[in-house]
Structure 1
Amino acid sequence: MRATVKVWDPLVRLFHWSLVASFAVAWLSADEVKNLHEWAGYAAAALIGFRLVWGVIGPRYARFTQFIRSPGYTLGYFRDLLAGREARFVGHNPLGGLMIAGLLLTMGTTALTGWMQTTDTYWGIEWVKELHETCANAMLALVVLHVGGVVFSSVRHGENLVRSMLTGRKAAAGAEDVA
């Protein structure tokens, strides 16, 4: 059995699963329970705010500088992935980092445009409503891609990434891995 290391701190894990829950509640209550939908959106906004701060001051693997890579590096990783020779990353791989950025931006925009619709200035404004719905649909598409990427990486590298987001632990870096 391979040795493990602590990667995801408790706050990153709590953030992750809380954002999953708030998005699911907001999505499922969108046309049915307005107050629940709005509160789920406020929770998501607060979680995004926390994650932006934690991405700067949190522990190593929580920091954006650890997993947000340059476009060239990310493209190189994607090429390696297509060729079946991508490195295993102890933290997020470059495509995972890009996904996190996309999820945070899209969920943040969804929450912002949802809140805007509750204000006198933007209530009933069609472009705000359309942007909100477009972002919510984009979030759903990103979630599907994210889950697909997690399953793909789990199989490809022989590790259960869902379990690691529950326990906080992953297999320690091997000789070929990026720590």
Structure 2
Amino acid sequence: MVAVANQTSGRASARQVAVWDPLVRLIHWSLAMTILLNGAFVEEESTTHEWVGYIALGLVGLRLVWALIGPGHARFSAFPPSPRRAVRHLKAMLAGDRSVHLSHNPLGALMAYNIWASVIAIGVTGYMMTTLTFFGVDWVEEIHEAIFNWLLLSVALHVAGVAFDSWRSGINLVRAMINGRKIIPDGRDVK
């Protein structure tokens, strides 16, 4: 169910739509924190690094389960991974379309799946490095580091995409990921 409320500030009016529930927001910001911690602050070969990595993996696992059983905007069906839809969305944006997607837009959906897959791959290769079979095996460590570098690039593109879409749509997406509500300017088509 979508909760919509009219909100008036000055001359412009907008609709406020509840989109991301508390668990989605908690997982999002916690995952961002684990990536930041392991990428910038925690010693790479430490036990803390391993545990932060396991927490990140657990957060993605929880998010994937929530995408099956959670509320409407959290479900896979709200933002299916579709390269075809992403290309159509990109063409529409280039043509000046300023429509609003209640969940992730098609490009954002692909990025979410990409980030989740990257964290899973990092977690798997990180775990492999702790086993007797793969401990000290160079190619596993190289793959682990390459995927982490891909994740950092993906996060940078994600942040840039959020900034661009906030500008394009007139919706503060960071605020929406903090309070769970998008404030949609009147006259915007909603998808």
**TM-score under structure 1 length normalisation:** 0.93
Task: Give a deviation string over 1:103-130, Cα, whole Å, max 9, x none.
Answer: 0001110111111101111111111111
SS in 1 for 2:131: coil
CA contact (8 A) 2:98 2:168 kept: no
SS in 1 for 2:182: strand
What residue number does 1:53 align with?
A: 65
Q: Does 1:79 align with 2:119?
A: no
Q: Distance in 2 between matches of 1:127 and 1:74?
A: 33
Task: Give a deviation string over 1:32-58, Cα, whole Å, max 9, x none.
Answer: 561221111011010011011111111
What residue number does 2:135 align with?
A: 123
* Structure 1 runs, 4 residues or longer, greater than 3 Å off: 29-33, 172-176
Relative to structure 2, which stretch is displaced further, 135-144 or 82-91? 82-91
- What amino acid sits opposite 2:155 in the alignment? V
CA contact (8 A) 2:171 2:184 kept: no
What residue number does 1:39 align with?
A: 51
> Equivalent of 2:148, from 127, 132, 136?
136
Matched length:
179
Q: Distance in 1 between matches of 2:180 and 2:16?
A: 10
What residue number does 1:102 align with?
A: 114
SS in 1 for 2:23: helix
Q: Does 1:171 align with 2:189?
A: no
**TM-score under structure 2 length normalisation:** 0.87
> Equivalent of 1:111, from 90, 112, 123?
123
Q: Distance in 2 between matches of 1:138 and 1:40?
A: 18
SS in 2 for 1:77: helix
How far has the Cα of 1:169 moved from its partner? 0.4
Q: Which ranges of structure 1 fall in alignment gaps of 5 or more residues?
A: none
Q: CA RMSD in A?
A: 1.7
CA contact (8 A) 1:90 1:177 kept: no
Q: Distance in 2 between matches of 1:177 and 1:69?
A: 21
- What amino acid sits opposite 2:107 in the alignment? L
Q: Distance in 1 between matches of 2:81 and 2:137?
A: 37
Larger Rg: 2
Q: Distance in 2 between matches of 1:104 and 1:143?
A: 11
CA contact (8 A) 2:99 2:169 kept: no
Q: Does 1:66 align with 2:109?
A: no
How far has the Cα of 1:158 moved from its partner? 1.1
CA contact (8 A) 1:27 1:37 kept: no
**Structure 1 or 2: larger helix share?**
1
Taking only the aligned residue pairs, the percentage that are identical comes to 44
Q: Which ranges of structure 2 fall in alignment gaps of 5 or more residues?
A: 1-7, 9-13
CA contact (8 A) 1:8 1:169 kept: yes
Task: Give a deviation string over 1:133-159, Cα, whole Å, max 9, x none.
Answer: 001000100000000000001111111
Q: Distance in 1 between matches of 2:21 and 2:170?
A: 22
SS in 2 for 1:170: strand
> Equivalent of 2:172, from 129, 149, 160?
160
CA contact (8 A) 1:90 1:172 kept: no
CA contact (8 A) 1:113 1:128 kept: yes
Change over 3 Å in CA distance of 1:113–1:32 after alignment to 2: closer
